Each structure stands twice: as structure tokens, then as C-alpha cells.
Amino acid sequence: MSESRVLFLSRPLFRLAALRIRPVWMTLIVAILLGTVYNIPLWRYLLGLLPQGRGLQNGLFVAAFSVFLIAAFNLILSLVTVRWIQKPVLALLLLGAASAAYFIQGYNVLLDAGMMQNLFETDPREAGEYLNLNFILFMLLFGVLPAVLLLRTRLERGPFGRELRLRLLVVVLSLAAGGGALMGYYQDFASLFRNHREVRYLITPSNYISGTYKYLRGNTMVAKNVAPLGTDARLNAAAGKRGKPTLLVLVVGETARSGNFSLNGYGRDTNPELAARGVVSFTNAYSCGTATALSVPCMFSRMNREQYDADKASSQENLMDVLKHAGVNILWRDNNSGCKGVCNRVPNELPAQFSDPGLCKDGECHDEAMLGGLERYLAKAGGTTIIVLHQLGSHGPAYYKRYPASFEQFRPVCRSSELQTCRPEDIVNAYDNSIRYTDHFLARVIDLLKSQQDRFNGGMLYLSDHGESLGENGVYLHGMPYWLAPDNQKHIPFITWLSPGLQHETGVSQDCLQARRGEAISQDNLFDSVLGLLDVDTSVYRSSQDFYLACRKR
């Protein structure tokens, strides 16, 4: 539907908006819209969950659920929307509900606190990829138009006492209707929410309101002093006697899933350059979370995934701080949406500081831009050094923008951010091209390390922050709750390359690592494995978490 068509159809509605209406009826109309139209993704999902062959019973349960939602929304809105704030609050709810319905229906995502964190921490460039014509038209029709109609409607208020009595009556009737629907199908409701916790993240607008509240609560707390960690960290005395210091490049990937790496058995040759450089690719690696905002702080914290707490992590130093205490030279280069607080206390650079005209366009740089100037940096560096490169990688939905045109090996590709409108094979083609470019980028990192072998014993670790869904079972992108997320959002690539010099100095045999490539490894191992490879002595080091220790010659 074109924009002119939407505006044409809206003209008679604007004329109708001149009608007067009682405040309680306006609230009820909005509650009905929220409980029906804006929750169509919920009803579709619910019908897919209910047992087959129970047509009438399923229909009655869905009707009861709808009545319960309408009554609950009407009850809450009747209590919080008073006088001058009623219309602005209801209009904002409609705008938010329209946006939520579009993304839930279009990408099959769930709006929990983690997803809202992704939304708030997404930079304008990333957010712009979701602004397409269909989204704009959807928002005009289901968001802007209803909100404007609501704002133009005149509220007809009676005497205060009469309005109060009417509102109390509405509250009582809402309680009765909602309670009746709940009690009439209590067992069905209990079974649904016990066995399908994800349903709560489909209920609009409570999903994005609750998620936003949880996110803002965690980010508006009174600032705390960051608790020190590993202040006793020192480079092993033996490290100072070596002929050459260690240079470790840690590449934090973005949205790469293990299943699309030919190193891990994928049918397409997406890793030709890494295969030629003798890397070790661990095939059983898993992430801490399903989104950057969670996985990056988690992998650099001392907490494992099961114990990870975002508030605690943000108020405690991390791996970068421990390495700083040890006297390691540190440089963090970020080509993504930031380091999520991990690099706040160490030297760090953003794309504007290493932009390359040949690799950067329209405010976005391909990952190779992060390599610019590193040779000059290393010429001045002395001693043990770690460089962290945070990729843009395969960030969706515009996978086709993540690589130079020369890396478009697989065709045709999806050139839209509306993945649901593309053929599945075209989405995979674009995504695989981005993986092939990551392969090239990592090969260039290894070549850089080889060029520095006269001065450093070099090594590279690469692991993605999380995986990605490419439309399997109608699910796209990432960010689903970990307990519900498909394996593709959690199963990540984890690759190691150690120079002969570093293998000799650390005693870690790459042949041994190759023999262990199928063993379980995760982002939980990163903290201690890096400390071990850099030969850092500290009380916070846990040998049981150092994946490379088993391959170290005693």
C-alpha cells in the first residue's frame, strides 16, 4: 500500500475524529485494540501451540485469553491515565505497540529485557538498516494514524463525582471479566505459562514496557565504584627472559555461527584462506548469550554463563583490567556498536580513528580498516601486547553490506533488510559471503603476525559473540532468551592460530589443540585461557578454565 493511498483513506477518519467521547470509552477502545489487533503475532503463535483436534475448545480458550488481556489492559489504563496525561499516554502506547508488532511478526523475535537492551545500545547506523518502506507504511497505518486520531478526539468529561463513579465501575467490571476468564480456564493458563515462558514476551505492550523498565533500572542506578580485580597480576618472571615478547591478537567476531564455517564441516568453501594457514577450529564452542550486549561483557568477566550478572559485571573490573595491572600493552579497536563497557579503562579506538577511504563508506567501515596503522603501533610497542579487534562481522539484517563487492562469491543475494521478503537461499548467500570476508580478514591478521615474527611471538584467537538465525522455522537474527534460542544463535566459531615461536615459548602444541578440536569450549574459557597464553600470574587465574593448559608441555 502506497503512502498516498494511506493518506487518502485516512481523510474521512480524521473527520470522524471530531466526535466527542467519554474518557472511559476511549480507554476501552485502546484496550480492545491492544488486546486484539496489536497482538496478532501472539494469537498466531498461540494457535500453533494448542493441541490439534480441539477446535471449539481452542477457540474458547483463545477468546478467554483475549478477554483477559483486554480486561487487564483496561484495568491498568483506567488507573494510570487521568485527565491531561490520558491522550498522550494512550497515543505513545499505540506507537510503541505498532513498532513491537511489526518486529515480532516480521523477524519472529521476542521482546524481553535483553532485546530492549539491544535496541537501546544499537547505534544509528545499525538502526537505520531496519527503516524500510514497509516499516514506515506499517507505522503510518497502525501507529501514527491511530495516535493522531486519538489526539484529535475531544474528551467529554462530566462532573468529577460522576466520572469517579464511572471509572470505579469500569475497574470492577474489568476485574470481574478478567478474573472470570482466568478462573474459567485456569488449568489451560497455568499449563501455557508453565511450559511456554516465551509467551509473555509476545504480549504487547507489556513485553516492551517490562523490558524497557528492567533495562533502564539497571542503567540508572547510582554509579558505583568499579571493584578492582586481579591487582596482584604480574607477568611471569620467566617471560621477561625470553628472546621475544608475546603479541596476541584477540578478534571478537559478530553474528558468526559455527555451522557456516567450512572449517567445521560446512559444505560450502567459506574458509579457503584460513584452511591454508593451519588454524585450529574448535567445533563444539558455545556463547555466553545470544546478543552482543550480553555476550561481550560476559566473555571478558570472571563469571561463567550460569553465574553471570550484568549489574555485577558492570561494577567489577574485567580481563582487560587484569592485563593492565600486569603491565601488558593493550589496544582495543572497535568496528561495532562499542565494547559494552569492557574497554572503558584501557586504550581504545573507534572507526573514526582508523577510517580508510577505500574501506569506509556512508559511516560504515569494512573490518579490514581496523588493521590500518597497526604496524606503526607495533613498531613503538615493547613487551607483551594484546590487541582486541571487535568486528562488524556478519551483523544483520543487511548481510550484503558487510563485505566488499569482490567477496560476493555466492549469488544471488538478499539486498533487503526485510529478510522475510527474500528467498531463504538468497539470505544464506549474502550471509556466507560475509563469513568468507571474515575468513579473509582473519587471514590478514595472521599474515600481520607473521610479518612481526622477528620482534614478537604471535598468536590469534577468534571467537564470535553469538550466532544467528537465517529463517529456520521462521526465526531471523538473534537475541532470543538463551533457554529458548535455537542452537544456531549459540553455537559459535572459536579459532586459534599460534606461531611456532609462541608454541615453543608457551609449550602449547597446536597439534595437541587439533586433537582436541571436538571437545567442549565456550566463552567461559576466554578469561583464563588468555591469562595462560600471556603467562600472567594472578590469584584470579583458574587453571581449570584454561583450555590450552592441557596441551602445554610440562
Average pLDDT per block of 10 residues along the chain, 554 residues long = 48 56 90 94 86 78 92 91 87 94 87 81 76 90 94 85 85 92 84 81 91 76 75 81 86 98 98 98 97 96 95 94 97 93 93 79 89 93 95 95 96 93 96 98 98 96 98 92 94 98 93 97 98 96 96 75
Position 548: which residue type?
Y
pLDDT the model gives residue 531: 97
CA distances from 487 to 27, 112, 283, 467 (A): 42, 19, 13, 8
pLDDT the model gives residue 84: 83
Cell numbers of 316, please? 567489577
Instruction: For Cα atoms 478, 294, 226, give the angle at the middle one, nearest 5 degrees.
Output: 165
Q: How far apart are CA 77 and CA 28, in angstroms?
A: 9
- Please report how the helices 3-16 and 145-152 are oriented relative to each other, as an axis angle in degrees rounded to 10: 20
Torsion of Cα atoms, 120 then 355 then 459 then 322, to 10°: -50
Q: How far apart are CA 13 and CA 16, in angstroms?
A: 5
- Residue entry with cell 471509572: 167
Q: How far apart are the first and last CA of the chain?
A: 70
- Please report how the helices 23-35 and 55-80 are oriented relative to each other, as an axis angle in degrees rounded to 10: 140
Beta carbons within 8 Å of 8's beta carbon, 6+ residues apart: none
Cell numbers of 162, please? 460522576
pLDDT the model gives residue 223: 47
Q: How far apart are CA 112 and CA 479, in angstroms?
A: 9
Q: How far apart are CA 88 and CA 364, in angstroms?
A: 37
pLDDT the model gives residue 273: 98
- Please report how the helices 86-107 and 206-219 are oriented relative to each other, as an axis angle in degrees rounded to 10: 100
| pTM for the whole structure | 0.82
pLDDT the model gives residue 18: 57
CA distances from 103 to 125, 243, 418, 499 (A): 18, 56, 10, 46
